[in-house]
Structure 1
Amino acid sequence: MATLDGRPVLTRRELSDAYEMSITHREKLYRERESNSHPEAVGTVSRALVWYAADWDQWHRRHTDVAGLESRADLHARTGVGLSTLQLLWRGRKANRHPEPEKTIGNTMYWNPETWDAWYQGYKANQQWRTNPDLSGNAEDLISLSEAARVLGMEPTSITKYPVQPPKHWPAPAEETTTDKGSVKRKYRRGDIWTYAERRERGGGRPAGTTKTNWRYPYDGDPRLQQARTAIKANPETPAATLAGQLAREHGGTAGTWSHIVRSAQQHPE
């Protein structure tokens, strides 16, 4: 081992061999020394930068000490929050103010659990208006609009207007086809629906099971009412029961529910 001023020193390659890390990773640590306190080189030996072996070892021990900290896997194991959800929360940190990690070692980030828990409690309190998305399945799957509603924990009829009146952050369909009858069928990437679930804002659809208490009349404010009004105008001679069946096939839901919506549309054609 070479010495400098009587003290043992190591080159970048020798450090990589001694601590079993790639030279690329060592160079990354050195480039980020302003944030990670990596020691400065103390000189050169045969034109190679060198560091005091004892000083570098002391720094490395501090840098890799994660006692009391938790990685994403640790957070998942302790809190039960899914790994995919944790990843989405981190990607959305600009909007949700997710805390920065206390340490990053290699590609693994570590957080102070007390800091993370305090943030997450506040985040959940602010998200109580949201439904809980179903995060099972493959992100690359293509799913229908009604399946997207199920993933979001919402009634299918509550998002039927999204393709033509998209709320903020609603994704574009990954696949779009037109049937022989002229209706448009859309498929969405499941991962894009997960992203929307995290980024959506208040007013982005009515959760399943909720009701509106300030109706002026039945189905006031429900997008299905306007769909029924449009169908009535286009087919003024068609019986209500027939229209209800057609609307159920086109937009989902039951003919019985649509018959009530059609009746309200007839009574309130505004």
Structure 2
Amino acid sequence: MQISTPSISPIFAYFHEKRKKIEGREKSGFEEWAARDGTVTSAFPNKVWFIFIDSSTRIESWTMQRKCSALVQGLRDAFPETKAWATVNNWAATTIQEVEQLSAQAASVRLAVLNSTYSKSNAEETPANIVQLLQQCQELYYRLFCDTETIATVIGVRVPEHKEEDNLGVAVQMAAFEALGKLQSALAKIDGNDNETSSIFMARNYMATRGKVEERLLGKVSDDGGKRESSRSPSALLELRQVDADAMLGVQLSTARIARLLRSLVTVYVLNAKKLIQPRSTSEHMLT
């Protein structure tokens, strides 16, 4: 029994246009036959549904690709290249100089501490100049940490689809991520390494260390309201002075390291800006 179906000319026209946009190829043999015949008989019912399903699948794939591209482009528009450039330019113009000024201030305070003679009165009040300098470091380090996140995001949303070849620009991006990670580790010890010389939490660590020495020198109030005898060791006073001096030495070491990392990152970004933003010449800022 021969079964006839209505003309598929509208269906063919719809899917043929979609397939031309998706694939940019010539009509298949079946499409030529369908356009010429205009009807489908029982000899080819399965082929009609095959073409229908195949075209639908390709359109869904095309639609999903468009959605993915729009999503990624939205992220890139939210973090334009100008954000990273502004941050890098600010590092080169002012931030590095600001870091070095903190280092010079710390050196001056440290020298004054080492040249002074400590008594118990030094344990009764935390040095305001040292605390203020450590808090300035904290604010600067926090700002730098946020800056690195901005640059990493600008680069990160431009990482292309993985390929087995043409990955030179991607390798440059990965190297930039590694350099940014080193700066973040220096700023906040996010790798958990206690041997790092710098940290955004230097002020807290300084106060905790100094508080223990102060307690030994001044004595600790007991639960019954009495007061435990304070330490009479001359080394305790020397230790207190050394705690203050070491806090400033930590600032000097950390600022020296951070200034070096900032200069390296500025150089890496400026010399490789094109590859960092467009790692593949054929990517055209979209998913490949």
Shared fold per TM-score greater than 0.5:
no
TM-score class, shorter-chain normalisation, is under 0.3
More strand by share: 1
Larger Rg belongs to: 2
